[in-house]
């Protein structure tokens, strides 16, 4: 877990924390928990989310358990740099929907002494690495992989199985379009596709 360190001159060191996993695994819940702890510590925080994600709210990050925290929707990762001036802790939700430049943005923030907490899907519905998440995991100081429960057998689930035949990579949805599956059930569900 993240432990804030101090340099000899009293300035915080930056860090990159990545929370990843499948849908319904608690990524956003963990992001909100860490941000709330930073707020208790009286740190200046800002949470960003992609502007396209309006499933629960246009201006809040909301978990599937309906926990919510105010956020700033942005069109691209460059906007995060513009809006994060003077912030101690930056949270970024649904990072898989951002452009590849998010990796450089996060590195720049961490190099400036900012604690950056990023949450996102590590794989798309096809089981392929999703957006900038692999790059973020590579440069992260800390990576937390969370798991859901397979809705078919009850084992640990790491796949987001799409319940529709739509092929576009980005398809916003909830339990109406996706289910969490373990490897065995995911492979069985996709057999013959």
Query: Among all residues, which ones are annotated catalytic?
Result: 94
Show the tokens assigned to 183: 């490897």
Q: Please give the Cα distance from 159 to 182 (Å, whole number).
A: 6
CA 174 to chain centre: 16
Tokens (6 digits) for 142: 């800390």
Task: Provide the CB-side half-sphere exposure for 6 (13 A, CA).
Answer: 3
Separation CA 51–CA 33 (nearest Å): 22
Residues 6+ apart with CB under 8 A from 78: 101, 105
Q: Give the count of beta carbons closer than 10 Å to the beta carbon of residue 10.
A: 6
Written as six digits, the tokens of 170 are 């980005």
Can you count the helices (H) and strands (E) in the chain? 5, 12
């Amino acid at each position: 877990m993240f432990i804030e360190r101090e340099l000899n001159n009293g300035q915080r060191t930056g860090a990159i924390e990545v929370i990843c996993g499948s849908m319904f695994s608690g990524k956003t819940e963990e992001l909100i928990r860490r941000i709330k702890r930073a707020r208790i510590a009286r740190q200046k925080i800002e949470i960003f989310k992609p502007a396209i994600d309006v499933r629960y709210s246009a201006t809040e990050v909301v978990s599937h358990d309906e926990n919510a925290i105010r956020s700033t929707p942005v069109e691209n990762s460059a906007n995060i740099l513009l809006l994060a001036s003077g912030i101690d802790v930056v949270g970024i939700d649904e990072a898989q929907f951002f452009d590849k430049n998010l990796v450089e943005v996060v590195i720049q923030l961490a190099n400036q002494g900012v604690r950056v907490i990023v949450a996102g899907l590590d794989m798309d519905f096809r089981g392929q690495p999703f957006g900038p998440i692999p790059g973020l995991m590579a440069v992260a100081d800390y990576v937390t992989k969370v798991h859901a429960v397979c809705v078919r057998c009850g084992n640990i689930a790491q796949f987001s199985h799409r319940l529709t035949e739509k092929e576009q990579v980005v398809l916003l949805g909830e339990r109406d379009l996706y289910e969490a599956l373990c490897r065995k059930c995911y492979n069985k569900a996709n057999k013959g596709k």
